[in-house]
A and B are shown apart, each in its own frame.
Chain A
């Protein structure tokens, strides 16, 4: 039987680009939480810069992500309905509990970690910086036990985010490309690519002196391994994911071949920069920006393909349903707005680390610490 569609009403995209933004920022946040925990456990080997970049990636993503999510509700003003009608069997409802908890913990962790840096702002000549120093809330020292406890809690909370965001989409049986284990796994592993991308961007924003010893070999090792492992896993998962679509073969569609091919290339590019990571200088802005752009595009585009492009596949009819990115707030403007917000927060936060860096140089000279890395004096208060 030959069937040709004559009159078929296309179904509109129901989850807007906001959903992609949410998955992008919140994914980078939970992955950064895990990477931050690792870098903090090995704080004798990693630099304060990298740890700051990771802790800020985590906390900024944990703020920007939920904002993007409310954009995806067509009725953001009704967000309170989530709490007046708790529905434990719906993953989205569980998410409404997990998400604020994670955001709060992420901010707490970042604050605890950067407290010393914030406190040091009081030596600044800038009046606003002096005021901001009050946010350290006293002169008490953050102990490493406090740091570890809160960071571990944040990581666990981050895992609940990974679990619920994955499960929420996995349960949608009507879309075979979502209803398979490879889908949440892909989002999970590529979240680390996003986290590294944002951390590299932050490093590029920090006014770091052009000194090779600002970074440690472990910094480079962490970036390299995280990128390499997640890009390899993603490259393995992608064909598994794409093949698991019973009703329609992605490989028979030119548009899908281009999408899958571009993703494969972006994973390869991530592997490439991972392999270069130990060779290039982490204080070199242009290099940082290029590496950051490649990994961010890779992480973002994977989410675009797996969330937006999948929605153009018809559930019943032949499809694909047409979708064009609108220019307004439900489309391009929203995407740019969220990126702008992330950047604004990152620029503001990077000032804290920056000003601290200047004062540290003098500390270092006075104490003439034998260890040559800048990270050593910076973390004295955390390591005891």
Chain B
């Protein structure tokens, strides 16, 4: 390894997000026992890989194409979503000249396929598990739908599917990845804001992006020690953890909303 590369690696490790990348080789067992429920041979996925997603917020226009693409692909019931794009209106009050500018901030949300997934740990029947490639899945034939995982996920990424009556969530479209296709949301994203790939492969597009933007990569709720593997570029700290803002007007339409 040449010295520039080595110093790059050191810098990488020092980053906050480094905490999320290091666990590829196993999270610190002293601080947490990670349960993956993945002993069964059919729960391995694509061993040797570690799927992750980068969401480049600078490119997201909030069009919800991903939301629709996912709904069509994965057939979640109407009103329930594996991924959505949240929208916020933001104004600055720091005295800057941009004071009067109202900006729209869009935040695509999905399961973070956490390296230390609290949802997997709590499941009483080991129905939810994490494959070797990092994808967190639900075996919905085993799931008793106790919703314990829904409670445990700090990101509200899970829900009880009204039709299957089992826990449901984003799978990174594992069924598509296995066929060499991109997840539906990545495929439909008009701005090219969603990039999925194997972060164990240093030559993958996602690895390049993460190296390139290493100073500007954030994850949601880093304080939860879940080590999310959906990384955001162009994120403001005010929106990484519990948001302090004005309430949305919920206007649910129809029974399923």
Q: List the interface of chain A (C-beta within 8 A of B).
A: 1-12, 14-15, 72-75, 78-79, 81-82, 84-85, 87, 89-93, 95-96, 168, 171-175, 247-248, 311, 314-322
Set of chain A residues within 8 Å of B150, measured between Cβ atoms: 14
With CB as the reference atom, state the residue of chain A lying closest to B119. A174
The B interface is mostly helix, strand or loop, or mixed, namely loop
Asked if B126 is an interface residue, CB under 8 A from chain A, the answer is yes
9 further A-B contacts with Cβ under 8 Å, apart from A11-B156, A315-B156, A317-B243, are: A3-B244, A6-B104, A10-B252, A12-B80, A14-B150, A15-B151, A72-B147, A174-B154, A322-B250
Q: Main SS of the interface on chain A?
A: loop
Partner of B122, one of A172, A311, A315: A172
Kindly state the interface size class of chain B when it binds its partner. Answer: 35 or more
CA of A316 to CA of B84 in the docked complex: distance in angstroms? Answer: 14
Structural contact, A15 and B147, CB atoms closer than 8 A: yes
When the two chains form their complex, are residues A3 and B245 in contact, meaning their CB atoms are under 8 A apart? yes
> Given A5-B88, A5-B245, A75-B165, are A14 and B147 neighbors across the interface (CB < 8 Å)?
yes
A318 lies within 8 A of B243 (CB): yes
Q: Which of B222-245 contact A (CB under 8 A)?
A: 224, 236, 238-239, 241-245
List B131-183 residues whose CB lies under 8 Å from chain A.
Answer: 142-148, 150-156, 159-160, 165-166
A171 to B: closest C-beta gap in Å: 7
By a CB distance below 8 angstroms, the chain B residues around A171 are: 122, 152
CB within 8 Å of A: which residues of B? 33, 35, 80-81, 84-94, 104-105, 118, 121-127, 142-148, 150-156, 159-160, 165-166, 220-221, 224, 236, 238-239, 241-248, 250, 252
Q: Is the CB of A1 within 8 A of B121?
A: no
| Whole-angstrom CA separation of A174 from B92 in the bound complex | 29
> Which single member of B84, B104, B147, B153 contacts A9 (CB below 8 Å)?
B84
- Residue of B93, B153, B166, B238 near A75 (CB, 8 A) is B166
Min CB gap B256→A, angstroms: 10
A3–B159 CB distance below 8 A: no
Which 5 A/B pairs are nearest by Cβ-Cβ distance? A3-B245, A74-B145, A5-B248, A174-B154, A93-B124
Complex partner residue of A6 from B87, B122, B166, B242, CB under 8 angstroms:
B87
* A171-B122, A315-B155, A318-B245 known; A74 vs B252 contact (CB < 8 Å): no
Within the complex, the shortest CB–CB distance from A274 to chain B, in Å, comes to 34
What residues of B have a CB within 8 angstroms of the CB of A15 in the complex?
A: 147, 151
Contact of A173 with B224 in the complex, beta carbons under 8 Å: yes
Contact assessment for A6 and B248 in the assembled complex, using a CB-CB cutoff below 8 Å: yes
Contact B144 A79 (CB under 8 A): yes
Contacting A173 at CB < 8 Å: which of B87, B88, B118? B118
